[in-house]
Chain A
Amino acid sequence: MVPKKDVLLQIKDLRIEGYSEEKWVEIVHGVDLTLHKGEVLGLIGESGAGKSTIGLASMGFARDGCRISGGSIEFDGMELTTTPESDLRALRGSRIAYVAQSAAASFNPAHKIIDQHTEAPIQYRISKRVEAQEDAMQLYERLRLPNPSEIGFRYPHQVSGGQLQRAMTAMAMACRPDLIIFDEPTTALDVTTQIEVLAAIRDIVDQFNTAAIYITHDLAVVAQMADTIKVLLKGEEVEEAPTAQMLGSPKEDYTKSLWAVRSFKRPQKNRPTGADAVPIVSVQGIDAAYGKTKVLDDVSFDIYPGMTVAVVGESGSGKSTTARCITGLLPPTKGKILFNGQELPAKYTDRTKDQLRQAQMIYQMADTALNPKIRISEIIGRPAQFYSGLHGAALKNRVDELLDLIELDPAKFYNRYPPELSGGQKQRVGIARALAADPAFIICDEVTSALDQLVAEGILKLLDRLQQEFNLAYMFITHDLATVRSIADEVVVMQRGKVVEQGPKDEMFTPPHHPYTDLLLSSVPEMDPNWLSTLLEERGTDAIGEAADV
């Protein structure tokens, strides 16, 4: 047991309120937390569990519209809830640092990376500009960033996402803080890049014996990083235990349900055989470009009716661009797309209404894909009216029927607006909107990646049921291999605009793999706390460095 004098952060009965609908509502209900020097605590839970809010509160910070309403936060003997703002500010960046979820959004686009890095050390008069810059370069090198002496002098948009996330970790280290709050630092990254960032974070936290609060919703990730794990649900603690114990024998039902998620798996369907089997969508040798940059190179695959084809790859591999070509938003420069054996016009404006109706799309961010000022009934009703010419009572019946299909009660949801719905409900409305056109083929673009695991599972089950009911074909774009495992029939692996491997799912998940598929598969974190160390040893650090920087 760590002796009591080493306690760095002690939170007792922390209560935080958020302002909504003109009153203060408690969102964190009395959470306790103890962190020792050099210790890493994992905070996990679904969205709305209060993870980030608690993380920020340990810096004495509450977002606009939130306030710390009770309890105590003691950092190294200092009571943060009663400390004046100017003293708290002196703590931030110097003794407690923060690493945000999206480094791309959290670096100021107007300043060079190194200038943002040196801002805190210069302000706190820890070092002069030149020394601070030299220190930054050393940190960049430690975090295995390419060209450490030069990369800081670039602007954030000139650097890739994984590199930015490492640069942000370096920035948090600038004043050698005692505590770093990592707020979902790898959630926005590809699995292959994630490994590099995880390894870098773990190394540097070890080297400087920094304490950390590591916030994530990904259990396998937290298993690699944390000494202790605390599970949160709706602003309350569910349980806390050392990592190995938490993974091996969780006590509470909620924790067990989190652990058991992704049990959903349906049997693989095989392609229809016989001469009359025609793919519903056949992509044949398409090239595409944004301006002069070629982004797709000779992409070909077939999707048969009633089947799910998962298209996987890292960001920038051309998954969504392929979808844009199929929908006619981006006419390919070469090749053709057949629908039920007939060639589709390249541009959607040249397609017939029936061709447009047959292929629908569901988007990643249901938040931005639904117009917040339009009622659910109209969002779903519009395509039904446009494609089937329904009016009046017939239209209302159709909308009710669609709401029933997505398991939302028509009486409750018919007249509501998207902002009143939860993330999972919004995504269901997105599905109903696609179904309203009565399509034969739906493109699902990362439809579950913005959702919590339990909610995502519900969406996958719904999609599966609808597929059986209407014999729908899905093109399922994802970077999440667990999702692929649970619902795909066939898999297409893309890398840098090319298809590197494709085939039935069971084959794809059984070795031997194409080297890139192998890299993708082995990069998915596993619940074993030693997974990362073992993997790094197997690959050798240089190999990952290269993989992550491509």
Chain B
Amino acid sequence: MGDILRLVFKRLGLGVITLLVVSILIFFAVELLPGDIAEAVLGQGATPETVAALRTKLGLDQPAIFRYVQWLGGALTGDFGVSLVSGERVSSAISGRFINTLFLATYAAVIAVPISIILGVIVALLRNTLFDRVANVVTLTSISSPEFFLGYILILYLAVKTNYFPAIASLSADMTFGELLHRTFLPALTLVLVVTAHMMRMTRAAIINLLASPYIEMARLKGVPPWKVIVKHALPNAWAPIINVVALNLAYLITGVVLVEVVFVYPGIGQLLVDAVAKRDFPIVQACCLIFAATFILLNLAADVGAILTNPRLRHPK
């Protein structure tokens, strides 16, 4: 067990270092934006005096390195500064939105991950049959269509024409959990359609890749039925690539949902980011980017750890 813990801690350490590098990139990328931030924020009302005053207020007269350390120190304690536009604390502006995004991502993931893996196993079992081809074509079509297009199609058929679900996924505080699920079903379904194909195809490929292994032939020669060959003998050895693709798609569900949020007017972090970029509200941009980066790193880390834990050679050392 000691070996696994060491591996996991090593990965964690690498994750922290990656996050640090990303934080540097994010901070200085904003620095590199053309023009003076104070001028941009003030826009038409920029006089030399007001610009100078804002620069002092934002600490822009200090050296960049100093400001970075200050920002990072704040970020570590959850303090990302103050929004330039609303004057609200960045942490409170983001937290509610981020929870909404997490909710939608979880909603989509809970549907998409089991469906794709089960479908993947089934198409591996029925490979090269009609079912396999149809599943392939359908999921490929859904992954190839832009998500805003999928969103509008779903709105057209499931909201406008039939009225099963609301077209707009706006939230209010007094909704019950059931109402919440109903209200956000269409954006979640859109996301499910977008991520299922990738995970399903990887599950299929990872399993089929193993079917030529001698231990699969052995299982067949022991008289093991086909479904059991796939589920019991191939799948346990195919987890590593599947987990990796699942993690990538989960990360996408959190960081790539901007378009879906816009289509369904869902108050998530993606919309917040787009607004902040338009308004040059750089503390919010920086905080969102950092959260996205952390999500990516954390999920990939989880995938690495998952791959380690599903490898019997690492789990049961000699």
Contact = CB atoms under 8 A, between A and B. Distances in A.
Nearest to A181: B221
A106 interface: yes
A119 B222 contact: yes
B224 A63 contact: no
B231 to A, nearest CB: 12
A120 B223 contact: yes
B48 interface: no
B220 A61 contact: yes
Nearest to A168: B218
B224 A158 contact: no
Contacts of A478: none
A90 B237 CA distance: 25
A107 B223 contact: no
B214 A102 contact: yes
Contacts of B213: 105
B57 interface: no
Chain B interface size band reads 20 to 34
Interface residues of A, number: 32
A108 B222 contact: no
A100 interface: yes
Interface string B232-256: 1100110000000000000000000
B168 interface: no
B312 A110 contact: yes
B222 A106 contact: no
A158 to B, nearest CB: 5
A546 to B, nearest CB: 20
Contacts of B220: 61, 92
Nearest to A104: B214
Interface in A115-130: 119-120, 123-124
Contact of B217 (A93, A106, A109, A110): A106
B218 A100 contact: yes
A366 interface: no
Given A108-B233, A111-B236, A61 B221 contact: yes
Contact of B222 (A56, A92, A102): A92
Contacts of A158: 316, 318
Interface string B194-232: 000000000000000001111101111111110000001
A56 B318 CA distance: 33
A105 B215 contact: yes
A334 interface: no
15 contacts: A56-B221, A59-B221, A89-B225, A93-B221, A93-B223, A93-B224, A100-B214, A100-B217, A100-B218, A101-B214, A106-B214, A109-B312, A124-B223, A157-B313, A157-B316
Interface of B: 211-215, 217-225, 232-233, 236-237, 312-313, 316, 318
Given A102-B214, A111-B233, 13 more contacts: A89-B223, A97-B222, A105-B215, A106-B214, A108-B215, A110-B237, A110-B312, A119-B222, A120-B223, A123-B224, A155-B313, A155-B316, A157-B318
